[in-house]
Structure 1
Amino acid sequence: MKSAICLMLGLALAFSAPSAARDLAEVKASGTIKIATEGATPPFNYFEGDKLTGFDVDLGTAIGEALGLKVEWVTLAFDGLLVGLDHDRYDLVVAGHGITPERQKAVDFSTPYVCSGAAIVAKEGGARTVADLAGKIVGVQVGTTYLAAIDKVPGVKEVKTFPKDTDALQNLIAGRTEVWVSDKLTALTASEKAPDAKLQIGDLLYEERYGMAFKKGNDALRGAVDKALAGMLAGDGYKKISDHYFKQDIRCP
């Protein structure tokens, strides 16, 4: 019985062991690179009808072209993206993940491709500063660094979580929350697109650098993507995409 149990445990471990990610040679041999994003965070990644578009999508597609590869896009809920990466469902993730020590234990990141920050957003006359969050109902997307940061702010009355950042925004507009914490660039776009909502963008909780995520140890693929990104930054490719979606250059200084 003991040996049978050990065998069963061994089989379970074998089947649960993580598989190897496709390396650069395998990706190039296939002719296609699989990139995942959320598809629900305008203007970074979102759908216009059935078409996936946005800054992340245009940038990822341009990087694929620089590598001589077709891009196959996969969309998934934000809090499942890094899990799917670990299970080799795609080759990398381009979805505005903040580079944090905790995430770096689980995945490898490209060089930063965006510098932004977590903004305090309220309706006109509402909270602007961290101190103003005391006694407030705050809405935030699950799986984000924003949620972890808000959990550390003393005095917040309630934190409501939402599967999508757009859900958190709509709940602020509807008055079900008093504050929305999100990416400052996303908030600026939301304010421009919905002027009647009279959104007020206050202080940043913190600044943040975004990276493209790769499975741990997939260094050749990460290096090739970094090289392609560097080429876009050195030329005008990155700036054109950034100007189109943000009317500014959002690269890290």
Structure 2
Amino acid sequence: MRIGNARRAVLASAGALALALSMAACGEQENEGGASGAGSPAPSTSVDQALADRVPDAIKADGVIKVGTDSTYPPAEYLDTDGSTVIGFDVDLFNAVAAKLGLKTEYVSAPFDALLPGVTSGQYEVGVSSFTINPERLQTVTMVSYFEAGTQWATKAGNPAGINPDDACGKKIAVQTGTVQLDDITARSEKCVTDGKPAITIDQYQAQSDATAAVVSGKNDAMLADSPVGAYAVKQTNGQLELLGDIYESAPYGYAVTKDQQAFAEVLRDALKALIADGTYEAALANWGVEAGGIDNPEVNA
């Protein structure tokens, strides 16, 4: 997860938000590369030939890394206004990683909970979709840390439902399917029942944008999401939402590759280190206002 605020000085109108949410719900889309949506060009970097030479032959054979992503998670990864180009700070940063290795990227959109199975089956060469590194995921894939975030709650402005994150028993809460936030709210609901209180009604959405829209409409009382995602939602809804409580349980995000691609994971890690050293890494995050979630030492499976 990450710590820090989302970007955009110019906020979307309610109509623009609805358009963005509907586009984010589109089916599979592909694009090569990916443009920055932060109002300035994505940072560029030069090839490090020593690193490029270490990329496994099977990965570099066609010169393109096929990336699986859930493009419904602004500002990390989401569809641009054309409805097909995947943009976000995850995209800018991984494009820079690929460029450092002398490769291009091809992004394929899919539901979040289908991405890691897609990586393990060979459908994607890497998963880039704000995956929090945890023991369960490390049982099936190898992960390379690149960012850090936490969880934060958001509710309608003024908190009309009277949401207390420490006691949300009986409330209706929105989360994205397959996220650590689902585990979080499930555990909270179980505690409610143990304490003799009403369970939390947990509504799961395939797209984070749908979870956000459910809170804006009043269908749900609040949502849990990664901290920059919540902050971005507040800005993009023109203040119809507000953040609730503090950021908690910070943890790293990781790129996901198959268990047998240790060498690929290590070269991704070293490309990140090179980007940190030459300033490209910080520039990619600053372009989206999420530099507070930057890390100094990318690692494999840590």
TM-score range, shorter chain: 0.7 to 0.9
Q: Which residue of 1 aligns with 2:95?
A: 61
Instruction: Indicate the residue corresponding to 2:57 in structure 1.
Output: 25
What SS does the aligned partner of 1:160 have?
Answer: strand
Give 2:48's aligned residue: none
**Does the alignment pair 1:194 with 2:237?**
yes
Greater length-normalized contact order (CA 8 Å, ≥ 6 residues apart): 2
Match of 2:271 in 1: 228
- Of 117, 122, 126, which residue of structure 2 is paired with 1:88? 122
Q: Determine if the alignment matches structure 1 residue 144 to structure 2 residue 193.
A: no
1:122–1:178 Cα contact (<8 Å) kept: yes
Please report the TM-score for the alignment, with normalisation by the length of structure 1: 0.86
Matched, 1:73 2:107: yes
Superposition deviation, residue 247 in structure 1? 5.2
What SS is found at the alignment partner of 2:152? Answer: strand
Distance 1:237 1:249, change over 3 A: farther
Q: Which moved more, 1:179-188 or 1:50-59?
A: 50-59
Match of 2:146 in 1: 113
The structure with more radius of gyration: 1
Q: How many residues align?
A: 230
Q: SS of the counterpart of 2:102?
A: coil
CA displacement, residues 216-249 of structure 1 (integer Å, 9 cap, x when unaligned): 1211111111110111122211111111112533
Instruction: Describe the superposition over 1:87-118 as per-residue Cα deviations: whole angstroms up to 9, x where unpaired.
Output: 101111111000011111011101x2111111
1:97 alignment partner in structure 2 = 131
Higher strand share: 1
Q: Which amino acid aligns with 1:199?
A: E
Look up the SS of the partner of 2:116 in the other structure. helix
Q: Is 1:37–2:72 an aligned residue pair?
A: no
Q: C-alpha distance in 2, partners of 1:223/1:248? A: 23
* Distance in 2, Cα, partners of 1:244 & 1:128: 33
C-alpha separation between the residues in 1 aligned to 2:245 and 2:115?
Answer: 29
**SS in structure 2 opposite 1:90?**
coil
Q: Is the 8 A contact 1:120 1:205 kept in 2?
A: no
Return 5+ residue gaps in structure 1 as ranges.
Answer: 1-22
Counterpart selection for 1:212 from 240, 246, 255: 255
Q: Which runs of 5+ in 2 are unaligned?
A: 1-54, 193-198, 297-302
Percent identity over the alignment is 27
What is the distance in 1 between the residues matched to 2:293 and 2:239?
26
Name the stretch that deviates more: 66-75 or 202-211. 202-211
Deviation track 1:8-52 (CA, whole Å, cap 9, x = no partner) reads xxxxxxxxxxxxxxx712212322211111111111011111321
**3-state secondary structure, aligned to 2:223:** strand
The TM-score with structure 2 as length reference comes to 0.72
Instruction: Please give the alpha-carbon distance, in whole angstroms, between the structure 2 residues aligned to 1:247 and 1:103.
Output: 24
Which residue identity does 1:164 align to in structure 2?
A
Deviations 1:36-94 (A, max 9, x none): 11111111011111321111111111111100112122111111000111110111111
Q: 1 CA distance for matches of 2:94 and 2:284? A: 11
Q: What displacement does 1:148 show?
A: 0.9
Distance, in Å, in 1 between the alignment partners of 2:143 and 2:241 is 36
Deviation for aligned residue 1:190: 1.3
In structure 2, relative to structure 1, the CA distance for the partners of 1:91 and 1:139 (3 Å cut) is same
